[in-house]
Amino acid sequence: MSLWESVIIVLVFSIFVVVADEYIHARRRRKHEREDTARRAH
Amino acid sequence: MSSGTASEQDKRALYWLGERLIDHRHPVSILVLVVTGLFAYWTFQLNLSTSFGDLLPQSHPFVQIHNKYAGTFGGANNIQLMVETKDGDIFNVQTLARIYKITEEMDRVYGVNHNQIDSIGHRTTRYLRALSGGMLRAEPVMTGVPKTADDAASIKRIVHNTESIYGLLVSLDDRAALVRANFIEGRLDHRRTFSEINERVIAPFQDGWVGALIKGKDPLKPDAVIPAEVETVYRGTAAADAGLKPKDVIVSVDGKPVADRVELAAAVKKAGPGAAIVLGVKRGDAVENAKLTVPQQDISIYVAGEPRLYGYVYAYANDVFFILTVTYILEWLLRWMYFHDWRGALRPTLTGVIAAFWGLGFVHLIGFALDPLILVMPFLITARAVSHAIQMHDRYYEEFEHHNWDQRKAIVAAFAELFVPTLSGILTDAFGVLVIMLVPIVMLRKLAIVASWWILAITIAELLLNPIVYYYLRAPDPDVVMAREKGWYKALINRFTDWNLSGFGKAVTMIAWAALAITGAYLMRGLIVGDPTSASPLVWENSPYNISHAHIQDKFGGVEPLIVVAEGHDRDAMKEPAILKTMEKFQRYLERDPDIGYSFSLVDILRGVNVVFHELEPKWGVVPNSARDIAQTYFIFFNNSPPTETAKYVTSDYATAHVTFFARNHKGDNIARIIKRCQEFIKDNPMQGATFRLAGGLIGVLAAANEELLRNDFLMNLLGFGTIYMIVLFTYRSLAAGLYLLGPLFISNIVINAVMAVWGIGININTLPLVTVGVGFGIDYGLYIVSRIIEEIRVSGDLDQAIREALVTSGKAVSFTAVCMVASTALWGFSNIRFDAIMGTLLAIWMFVSFVASETLTPVLISYFRPTFIMREARHARKAAQKPAATAAAAS
């Protein structure tokens, strides 16, 4: 494995983690918001 | 909350500094990024290289003798190439032709000293030929490629009758021949030497051999491409069966063009034995196809020696990128799982990358290069940088919750509260490493400067840039922060802390560490200075290098030179019989050592010439009795040779010569014994007119390095611990604090030395810096925990409660950083470079042991002995408690 292959892999992996994490947290936030809205509606 | 060690005034200053950094975030971050960009630019200019001279203690008298005579009598950078037949002996036309051509190719490898090649195929390897009329003449054993069986038989006779060749350059069973080449130290290029030997010296004659001599490069036109023209086709070979003829030019293999002998050999080697290939053969203007079955190898070529060894190390050096990638991914996953947030994964990476650019750029800036054998070191420093960042990030989240989700307050509080332990940790690491400079070996001194700078550079990212980065990043969700306080990891830490601080837990901890220290002290007696095995510890025992090395040692008894110089006080000293007889006596004396294979000196030539001069009567195999006879004997042998050839035996004024002993291995204890025997002999046998000088060759310079390491090892450890003690003394303003922190570290040191002794790892110039770094890095865990205990006791006033709180907060972060560090260093265990693998594993063990000691032994010792430097801080809590009470009383 060369230096540049290594750099590309770690960059792609990092971006993947950031995007996946944001997606997970965004889903969780939306879920909480829905639950809050539902609770308030009750 | 107040800082664990800083006074109220200091604390206020740190909070102020944190605020100002955020206020001036734009200019500060631009400045840091510009400088980091500059260092990044220099980083990408960096090369891997090893300067052999840098590995030697230049002030040592052995090395000075080595430097003085390496250019003439041979240095430490020898390559030994052994050609061994699978069936029969080497004395047949086909094999001898290849030995001749291999020698010719070896003479063209970059950096080789053309006058210091020993091989029956080299012009400098001569024998004495008796001519008609009583004439004697020293002629090369081979003046060209042998053409007939008679030529081969004649070479066999010469070899068997020449004492300086038989057993030395041709094995006693006639099945192997040795080509020994010395390389000029200033022109060593390990990568180039490695590939040139593989492609040009080995492949065309071993696995790329088809039974025909193919024309090689023209030494006078090294850049010209010489087509693969057939010179000679041997009977009964694959080439003969394929119908190849002299003057044919092979232009392709299986349709793929081949430009020269090297490309042809590579293509044949790739096809493998038994494969049917089609050669495109140009005869005149026409190109015809010739079908050829690649033959089985009939000879094996083994190559050993320091330049070859480093060649393998460089070939394996790209492992570092694979390990780097796997480590990065693993660390990101671990941090993401711990912090439940990508910021927790990213922030420590920024610290690591910025520090790495500053460190590597500095290496280039000051004109150093990276040695592949110390690649573990930058890795470890980066892991350390990441560890500090994890501590900071964990504290930031803790303060974020504590300050009611106010991001700015949390950033400043985390910065101010962790400033002292972080800075102390960095300083202990940096100054701890700096003591390596004590060893007078240039490489270690360079390493000490670079590592120290690199560690100090962590402050830029961790203390200067850190609050700004947090400010730029969006604050984490409160859910994420609180998630850290839940789950199995937190529960495990809580449960273990409760057990450890119970009466039973404390007793078990003390007994276990005492037992470990005693066992370690017992086992570490086996630790040796130098290499503990005959195989090279740099690569694995079953690596191609060590297999080759062992084969050559088996066949020739010993190939690692120890050069003892007989330095004459005046010209013609080497014509004095008494001096020469002492040299001979020295040879016979040291040959009795079980680890000396054989020896060689000018005396061997004299004796051989004297025998031939006296009609091959063995009784004349002695040193002549008069200086006149000796001079005459020299004349007979050397009169046809240019001074550049004779210089490898004796200086041109006949003042100085050498005795070279070939050792079977370079084990540290064997080297020490051999050198001791040499010194005893020299003391007991003083010479008039000359003095023996120790010592050149690989064994000589290793002896020098081992002596320096032995002399400085204890001092380095003492100063390493002393430096750390002084920093701890200033950090905690207490004489006792150092004892509580260094005690566990001392036991870790014992354990790691014991592991090295049990695993057969010696202290050498490669292991020493890593061991010293381990001492410095182990202290950081303790610093974070002790600082937190002080911080907590100022709040609660209760020691046991403070210890518990410190262990479940900072201790939890410490345990996570330790997991990360151990994981990242342990991954080196997969390296093809045994040295890096072992060092990675050792450092992982070191980090683990010092972490466990900081989490168990240090708090238990503090709990038992209630040290004043901690207990005095409890007064703050009492004063704080008394104040509201007094105010309330006054109000009532």
- pLDDT tens sequence across B568-599: 998 888 999 999 999 999 999 999 998 888 88
Looking at per-residue pLDDT, the higher value among B78 and B771 belongs to: B78
Q: Are B197 and B128 within one domain?
A: yes
- Looking at the structure, do residues B512 and B620 belong to the same domain, yes or no? no
Euclidean distance between CA atoms B844 and B829, whole angstroms = 10
Contact B673, B664 (CB under 8 A): no
Question: Based on the domain organization, do B161 and B286 belong to the same domain?
Answer: no
Count of domains observed in chain B: 5
Read off the CATH number of the domain in which B801 is found.
1.20.1640.10
Q: Is the pLDDT of residue B239 over 80?
A: yes
Contact residues on chain B for A25, CB-CB shorter than 8 A:
341, 477, 480
Mark which of B469, B485, B501 sits at the end of a domain: B485
Query: Which of B318, B329, B341 has the CB atom closest to A13's CB atom?
Result: B329
- Residue A31 CA to residue B12 CA, distance in Å, equals 43
Distance of CA B451 to the CA centre of its chain: 16
Tell me B177's DSSP state. E
Q: B interface mutation test: which of A5, A17, A24 has the most B CBs within 10 A?
A: A17
Beta bridge partners of residue B131, listed in sequence order: B135
If you count residue pairs, one on A and one on B, with CB atoms under 8 Å apart, how many are there? 40
Whether the link from the prior residue into B517 is cis, omega within 30° of 0, is no
Chain B contact present for A41, CB below 8 A: no
Q: Is residue B540 part of a domain?
A: no
* Residues in Cβ contact with B277 at an 8 Å cutoff, skipping those fewer than 6 apart: B253, B254, B267, B268, B271, B291, B292, B293, B294
Band of the pLDDT at B4, cuts 50, 70, 90? Answer: very low
**Chain B residues 102-121 with a CB less than 8 Å from chain A:** none
In a domain, B55, yes or no: no
Q: How confident is the model at residue B463 (pLDDT cuts 50, 70, 90)?
A: confident
In a domain, residue B538? The reply is no
Q: Does B331 touch chain A (CB under 8 A)?
A: no
Q: How remote is the C-alpha of B537 from its chain's centroid?
A: 9
Number of domains in chain A: 1
Domain holding A26, by residue range, is 1-42
Asked if residue B888 is part of any domain, the answer here is no
pLDDT the model gives residue B857: 92
Q: Which of B17-26, B600-609, B691-700 has the highest mean pLDDT?
A: B17-26
Inter-chain CB proximity B346 and A3 less than 8 Å? no
Q: Which CATH number covers residue B215?
A: 2.30.42.10
Mean pLDDT, residues B787-797 taken together: 88
Integer Cα distance of B306 and B698 in angstroms: 8
Q: Is the pLDDT of residue B130 over 70?
A: yes
Please report the sign of the dihedral spanned by the C-alpha atoms of residue B714, residue B715, residue B719, residue B720.
negative
pLDDT above 90 (res B98): yes
Give the whole-angstrom CA distance, residue B413 versus residue B19.
10
Let me know whether B462 and B352 are in one domain.
yes
Q: Is the pLDDT of residue B748 over 80?
A: yes
CA distance A8 to chain B (A): 10
B407 vs B444 pLDDT, higher one:
B407
pLDDT at residue B724 above 60?
yes
Highest-confidence segment of B4-8, B244-248, B717-721: B244-248
In this structure, the answer to whether residues B430 and B475 fall within a common structural domain is: yes
Q: What is the pLDDT of residues B397-436, one digit of tens each?
A: 889 988 998 999 999 999 998 888 888 888 888 888 888 7
In a domain, B852, yes or no: yes
What proportion of chain B, given as a percentage, has pLDDT over 70?
A: 95
Q: B342 and A21 in contact by Cβ < 8 A?
A: yes
Closest partner residue to B336 (CB to CB) among A10, A21, A28 is A21
* Same domain membership, residue B478 and residue B366: yes
- The conformation of residue B475, written as its DSSP 8-state character, comes to P
Instruction: Write down the pLDDT at residue B878.
Output: 65
Q: Is the distance from CB of B86 to CB of B300 less than 8 angstroms?
A: yes
Cβ count near B154 (within 10 Å)? 15
Of B89-103, B148-162, B377-391, the least confident: B377-391
Interface residue of A12, A14, A24 to substitute, partner B, most B CBs within 10 Å: A14
With vertex at residue B338, the alpha carbon angle to CA B319 and CA B22, rounded to the nearest 5 degrees, is 95
Q: What angle do CA B480, B482, B487 make, to 5 degrees?
A: 95
- DSSP conformation class of B53: G
Q: Is the pLDDT of residue B71 over 70?
A: yes
Print the domain residue range for B199: 76-206+303-317
pLDDT above 80: residue B172: yes
pLDDT digits (tens, 9 = 90+) for B465-497: 888 988 988 888 888 788 777 778 888 899 999
Interchain pair B332, A3: CB under 8 A = no
Q: With cut-offs at 50, 70 and 90, classify the pLDDT of residue B221.
A: confident
Q: Looking at the domain assignment, is residue B544 inside a domain?
A: no
Best to test chain A binding among B319, B332, B341, B375 (most A CBs inside 10 Å): B332
Tell me the nearest-neighbour CA distance from B818 into chain A, angstroms: 22
CB-CB neighbors (< 8 A) of A3 in chain B: 321
Q: Using one digit for the tens of pLDDT, what is the confidence trace for B492-523?
A: 899 999 999 999 999 999 999 999 999 999 99
- Indicate if the pLDDT at residue B441 is higher than 60: yes
Task: State the DSSP string of B488-548.
Answer: HHHHHHHHHHHHHTSHHHHHHHHHHHHHHHHHHHHHGGG--BSBSSSS-TTS-TTSHHHHH
Interface test with A, best of B44, B319, B324 (most A CBs within 10 A): B324
pLDDT at B2 over 50: no
CB B82 within 8 Å of CB B180: no
Paired residues of B139 in beta bridges: B127
Q: Where are the alpha helices (DSSP H) in B272-341?
A: 306-316, 319-339
**pLDDT confidence of residue B751:** 87
Task: Give the DSSP letter of residue B291.
Answer: E
The CA distances from residue B680 to B148, B304, B589, B685, B814, in Å, are: 52, 31, 11, 9, 55
Distances (CA, A) of B41 to B334, B459, B691: 30, 20, 53
Q: What are phi and psi of B87, to 5 degrees?
A: -130, 140
Whole-number pLDDT of residue B495: 92
**Residue from B245, B254, B251 nearest B276 by CA:** B254
Q: How much is the pLDDT for B3?
A: 41
- The reply to whether B161 and B251 lie within a common domain is no
pLDDT, one tens digit per residue, over A7-41 is 899 999 999 999 998 898 888 888 888 888 888 87
Res B1: pLDDT: 39
pTM of the shown model: 0.78
Please name the residue of chain B whose CA is at the shortest distance from the CA of residue A32: B479
Residue B164 sits in the same domain as residue B308 = yes
Cβ atoms B178, B80 nearer than 8 A: yes
Contact assignment for A21 to B322 by CB distance below 8 Å: no
Q: How far is the C-alpha of B191 from the C-alpha of B4, rounded, in Å? A: 52
Residues 1-40 of A with CB under 8 A from B: 1-3, 5-6, 9-10, 13-14, 17-18, 21-22, 25, 28-29
Task: Give yes or no: residues B256 and B383 share one domain.
Answer: no
**Which is more confident, B876 or B610?**
B610
Record: contact B346-A21, CB cut-off 8 A: no
Q: For residue B412, give the 3-state DSSP assignment.
A: helix
Residues B480 and B491 in one domain: no
Residue B80 and residue B174 share a domain: yes
- Tell me: pLDDT of B887 over 70: no
pLDDT of residue B155: 93
For the segment B78-88, the average pLDDT, to the nearest whole number, is 91
